[in-house]
Amino acid sequence: MTVEEGVVTDLKFIIKDYRRFYTEAVKGKPLIAVPSFLSRICGTCSVAHLFAALEALEKSQEIKVTEQTKLLRRLSYDGLIIRDHALHLYFFVLPDILGIDSILDIPDDPGNIGYTLLHDSFDIKKAGTEITNVIIGAAIHAPLPTIGGFLKLPDPSLFPQLISKLEAIRPQVLRGIKTFSQWPQSLMRNSDYLCLRNDRQFDFLEGQIINSSGKRVPEEKFHDFLKSVVIPYSQAEGYVFSDSHEDYLVGALARINFNKDLLHPQTKMDCQTYLQTFPSNNIYHNNLAQAIEILQCVDDALDILKTIRINQEGPVRKSFQAGIGVGVVEAPRGILYHKAVVGEKGLIEDYDVIVPTAQNQINIESDLKKYFNENLDKDEQTLRLDAEKIIRAYDPCMSCATNFLKIDWIRK
Amino acid sequence: MDQQKKLVVGWFSFTCSEDSTILFTELLNDHLDEWKKVVEFRYLKALKSKNEIAGLDVAFIEGAVSSDTQAEEVKKIRGHAKYVVAVGACACTGMPSASRNEFVSDEVNQKIAYYLHHFDYSQKVKKLDEVIKVDDQVPGCPMTVSIFLEILTKYLKLFNISPDA
């Protein structure tokens, strides 16, 4: 960051994660092997990558999955969101709210609110993980989903215990929502927002991409509306939405801003007060939006578990055909895009992935510029910690890495 | 009363999906209260910003080694740790992070050349024991939980640290 005469004249937000070139590595591989391989792109988003890959490959083969498969995928995705958002909110953000460095510094005192919230998070995370364990075989790199459906269907006798656990965590989730709603931290900036919207229901897996000006883009056209920006100092590409040429934000804040009318009725009722906050341009409200999404997923999962009847069915299979397919899902941290080009023998000819953290990169940089320009009178330690809080609010894929933040100051 | 000695642990991530780190955070759901009594997490960037590398009893290292910079970092960790445990498939075998080692197509290699030359990638991605001595391995993608717990217990015993003390 360069500061000249009290003004930030240059700020570069650099992502240093080394690339693994997985979209090159899948070329020539049989399509059936690809979803499991690409789930290895990200440990915490692995189910999102798995489902985006399945969708892209199924579309390339014109495979239509059954309603049961859709429902079971939706249910397991609820589990992912519950677990992933809780990890971010309680393990990474909660210490900021409590004014401590780490959850490891929370005292072993059941009377301490930090202790209560941390132990809430253990129960919430476990409930999310158990849904994915039962429905797709694991929370990370799940083995059961496959092209066309499931290799093995879940055991319905395990559903009552999932229902009990979800009902038990509901008050804990509400306590979390209240906590995150009371955090007064604020950074307001106007940027565009993008997310999936399915007009029938609050949905992480199906819909069209919408933005602030009301543009609606079908999943398969999404890439056409993005302008890739090479950021020479960063290993991740950035993107702007070509419609407005502005930076944009993806993630829970965009989803709640645009889709709060579609939330589960029970979630809506219990979050009435908090939902008045949205739409919001305060990046810190991404945390509150995630907390509300946990409740949404608890209520949605409860509905599915109480009503679904499992029919024994195998995955839908077809002979291989040449084709192109696009899969877009809402990963916990925003829009995730997979595109597969498949040859007639079922081998991958080309593959593309756009991850949410890359999409948010330019927005993060712009937020940091604004923050620093308005707060240069503060000491460097405060500025560094606040910058970390801003980056953390986005829940970037390198969430674990936000404690790595290094700022090189150039003062002229 | 003397404070009980704790096992001084560091947890490090290199090139990988960080799935074992995520799984580790899941293990904290059931084990944090117990581990806080017997383990000092001296270096754990996933969870804390104040980290130190000096005086580690055991360093758990996840991920493959993609660059000379990373190689220097793991050597530094080795120098500060009595024992080193490779965690997860990328650290133990290099794969799948080492996929680029297998690329033979000129077209593909040209495509990735920008990154390899523009940033400090090494020629090959290496598994951990190609760079430093490794004392134990927790295989799996993500790591196999039962083996991780066995190895942690082994080091607690080795350093005479009892959960019941």
Residue numbers in B near A92 (CB within 8 A): 47
CATH of domain B7-158: 3.40.50.700
Residue A53: which of A347, A335, A352 has the closest Cα?
Answer: A352
Confidence check: pLDDT of A400 > 80:
no
Confidence check: pLDDT of B135 > 90:
yes
Helix (H, G, I), strand (E, B) or coil at B93: helix
Q: Give ipTM to 2 decimals.
A: 0.93
In which band, very low, low, confident or very high, does the pLDDT at A244 lie, cut at 50, 70 and 90?
A: low
Relative to beta strand A226-229, strand A145-146 is unpaired
Predicted pLDDT of residue B3: 66
Q: How far apart are the first and last CA of chain A?
A: 11
In which band, very low, low, confident or very high, does the pLDDT at A248 lie, cut at 50, 70 and 90?
A: confident
pLDDT in tens, B75-95: 999 999 999 999 999 999 999
The structure's pTM equals: 0.94
Confidence check: pLDDT of A403 > 60:
no
| Chain B contact for A265 (CB, 8 A cutoff) | no
Per-residue burial over A375-393, b if 16 or more Cβ lie within 10 Å, else e, is eeeeeeeebbbbbbbbbbb
Helix (H, G, I), strand (E, B) or coil at A278: coil
Confidence check: pLDDT of A55 > 90:
yes
Closest residue in A to B109 (Cα–Cα): A24
CB B104 within 8 A of CB B113: no
Cross-chain residue pair A40–B115, CB shorter than 8 Å: no
Q: Which residues contact B29 (CB under 8 A, 6 or more apart)?
A: A121, A122, A123, A125, A126
Worst-scoring range by mean pLDDT, A59-73, B110-124, B127-141?
A: B110-124
Region B1-21: what's the mean pLDDT?
88
Region A264-269: what's the mean pLDDT?
98
Closest residue in A to B49 (Cα–Cα): A403
Closest CA of chain A from B50, distance in Å: 7
Confidence check: pLDDT of A126 > 90:
yes
Q: Which residues contact A141 (CB under 8 A, 6 or more apart)?
A: A36, A39, A40, A46, A50, B19, B141, B142
Confidence check: pLDDT of B104 > 80:
no
Region B139-161: what's the mean pLDDT?
97
| Alpha-carbon dihedral angle through residues A217, A222, A225, A229, given to the nearest 10 degrees | 150
Q: Residue written as tokens 């391995």?
A: B137
Predicted pLDDT of residue A2: 83
Residue A68: CB atoms within 10 Å: 17
Task: Give the bridge partners for A238, in sequence order.
Answer: A229
Number of CB pairs < 8 Å for A and B?
117
Per-residue burial over B23-61, b if 16 or more Cβ lie within 10 Å, else e, is bbbbebbeebeebeebbbbbbbbbbbeebebeebbbbbb
Report the run of H or E that residue A340 belongs to, with start and end.
strand A334-342
Domain ranges of chain A: 2-411
Confidence check: pLDDT of B1 > 50:
no
H-assigned helices in A137-264: 159-181, 252-259
- What is the domain class of A2-411 according to CATH? mainly alpha
Residue numbers in B near A126 (CB within 8 A): 29-30
Confidence check: pLDDT of A157 > 80:
yes
Cβ-nearest to A40 among B22, B29, B141: B141
> Residues of A numbered 213-242 whose beta carbons fall under 8 angstroms of chain B's beta carbons: which are they?
232, 235
Region A309-330: what's the mean pLDDT?
97
Closest CA of chain B from A22, distance in Å: 7
Cα angle B36-B42-B47, degrees, rounded to a multiple of 5: 75
Closest CA of chain B from A391, distance in Å: 14
CA R_g for chain A: 21
Region A334-340: what's the mean pLDDT?
95
Residue numbers in B near A83 (CB within 8 A): 26
Region B63-81: what's the mean pLDDT?
96
